[in-house]
Amino acid sequence: MADNDIRNNDTNDNGAKEVDILIIGAGPAGLACGQYSARAGRSTVMIEEMAPGGQTMIIDAIENYPGLGKVSGFELAEKFESQANAFGCQTVYASVSEIKPLDDGTFAVQTSDGAYKANAVVLATGAKHRTLGVPGEKEFTGRGVSYCATCDGPFFKSKRILVCGGGDSACQEAMYLAKLSQDVTVCHRRDRFRAQASIAKAMENTAGIKVKLNTTVASINGEDGKVKSVTLKDVATGEEYTQEFDGVFVFVGSEPQTQLVPFCKKDEAGFVATDRTMMTSVPGLFAVGDVRDTPFRQIVTAAADGAIAAHYASEYIDRLEED
């Protein structure tokens, strides 16, 4: 199994395409895994539903990925993908509906591109943005409520913007939005930010940004099909008041995308548990990046996860072949 192509002609009895390492998801973790796996001579297929890059694609400027200075998320994703493809990793645009661990240690994977039989599978499905769950949020999504500053920020040039959340994403995206409008308010439910201190401080010192701590969103209110105001709640006093905003950007964390692996062990928050080789509770099934129970979610740590998983997935296949 050392060919560097999927063996399309070499199908099993069910007509499944055979591959050494099947990666599900082409964010930084999946792309780095694809690069390392293909470079190690393993036939590698990466299945992606949307565009390569994952959440990186919606980041305006990345300045903490080592060696590259300041790059856009789009540019970094393109670099990741072209490097993986150059080593022979094949990207397939499809959705995966099932991963079935087989008795012989391999996996049957059903996709909209047909069935695959993989010797090892790497889950790199990432995480999806969380919602606030307040009245008006769903109704006005796409009509003033957004979860992506790079995508929707330009619609709110010089408008009144509310950013909700206290993590790295909220702080970083607020700084991006402050380039478009000098009227950005960041509200966070606690008295201190969760974000890395350097990022929170830079945000607080950015011109055009006002901060409201101990503040939650009670409801998002609209008129004529678009956001008009937000009712905020001071959690210290319980006081509710309504303030006019044109756009509400919600960055309150994310939910791991684990629907494909109900049989894997998870941590309390639902992230997939792995050992230090990125192997899950199912031998031969690895998890990398934002979907796994990592303590620090960064592009660089996701890429490192991918490299580790590729190495140990290859070792797993060596053991399968010895048996």
Give the distance, in angstroms, between the CA of residue 204 and the centroid of all CA atoms in the same chain.
Answer: 25
Measure the CA–CA gap between 8 and 309, rounded to whole angstroms.
24
User: Backbone dihedral region of 246: left (phi > 0), alpha (psi from -120 to 50 degrees) or beta?
Assistant: alpha
Of 16 and 148, CB closest to ligand NAP: 148
Residue of closest CB approach to ligand NAP: 167
Supply φ then ψ for residue 82, to 5 degrees.
Answer: -65, -35
Residues 6 or more apart in contact with residue 212 via CB below 8 angstroms: 185, 186, 187, 188, 232
Q: Select 271 or 316, whichever has its Cβ closest to ligand NAP.
A: 271
Residue number with CB closer to ligand NAP (195 or 285) = 195
Choose between 64 and 158: whose C-beta lies nearer to ligand NAP.
64
Question: Judging by DSSP bridges, how do beta strands 44-48 and 127-129 pair with one another?
Answer: unpaired
- Minimum distance from residue 145 beta carbon to ligand NAP (Å): 14
Nearer to ligand NAP by Cβ, of 47 and 209: the residue is 209
* Helix H or strand E encompassing 82: helix 73-86
Q: Are 109 and 261 in contact (CB under 8 A)?
A: no
Binding residues for ligand NAP (CB under 6 A): 64, 130, 132, 165-170, 172, 188-190, 194, 216, 251-254, 297-298
Contact 136, 219 (CB under 8 A): yes
The nearer residue to ligand NAP, 219 or 298, going by C-beta atoms, is: 298
Structure tokens at 119: 């010797």
